[in-house]
Amino acid sequence: MTLTWATATTLTELGELTARWLTGDLDETPTYCGPPDEETATLVPVLAAINRAGFVTDFSQPGEPLDRGWQQRAALSGFVDAPTCNRLAAALAPTDLILLHEHDDSGIRIPVTLQYGAAHTWVGGFPGFEFWEDELGQAALHALDAAWYVTVVDPVWGRADHLWHVLAGALDLPHPEVSR
């Protein structure tokens, strides 16, 4: 049987499908119509590996220094099982990275993109399953419901590689080559 969004039943399968979308093998995800944003191109190898390691991402952005009024913090969010959440918490605790993890919406948000000095994009908070429900079967929705929703943010505006190196180490992945 061919793995599709409708046939996926586990976080591992959802991570594989997300990795396939990132690498261009699938046209869209339940949460994103179309291919990844152009800014994601340098992150595709590490993001695909992160998804295959059990961190099902639904948002990511690179760190971007101030340019034409915009700047970004590197950030990532998605679903993980409890053991992976514990690994991330332990690995990120001695770093300067910010880790939020929750089952329900805590309401905690962190701005990760500024446009001319004003907050433009925020991360944090449990997104719910609204975008997933039409694409996934009950087993996959149950897997997401049982998972932790994790958000990781680099507090330093524009830093391009730190978050990705720390995550790769936490998930026992090769260190990525990420640059801007």
Spell out the domain ranges in the chain. 11-170
- Looking at the predicted structure, is the pLDDT value of residue 29 above 80? yes
pLDDT-above-70 percentage for the chain? 97
Average pLDDT over residues 75-88: 94
pTM for the complete prediction?
0.89
Average pLDDT over residues 104-118: 81
Average pLDDT over residues 55-63: 95
* Cα–Cα distance measured from residue 46 to residue 156, given in angstroms and rounded to the nearest whole number: 20
- Looking at the predicted structure, is the pLDDT value of residue 180 above 70? no
pLDDT for res 118: 84
Average pLDDT over residues 40-57: 96
How does residue 59 score in pLDDT terms, banded at 50, 70 and 90? very high
Average pLDDT over residues 26-44: 93
Measure Cα distances from 15 to 26, 94, 113, 149, 172 in Å: 13, 27, 26, 14, 16
Pairwise pLDDT comparison (23 vs 175), residue with the higher score: 23
Measure Cα distances from 117 to 41, 70, 71, 114, 176 in Å: 25, 8, 9, 5, 30
How does residue 67 score in pLDDT terms, banded at 50, 70 and 90? confident
- Looking at the predicted structure, is the pLDDT value of residue 122 above 90? no
pLDDT for res 113: 87
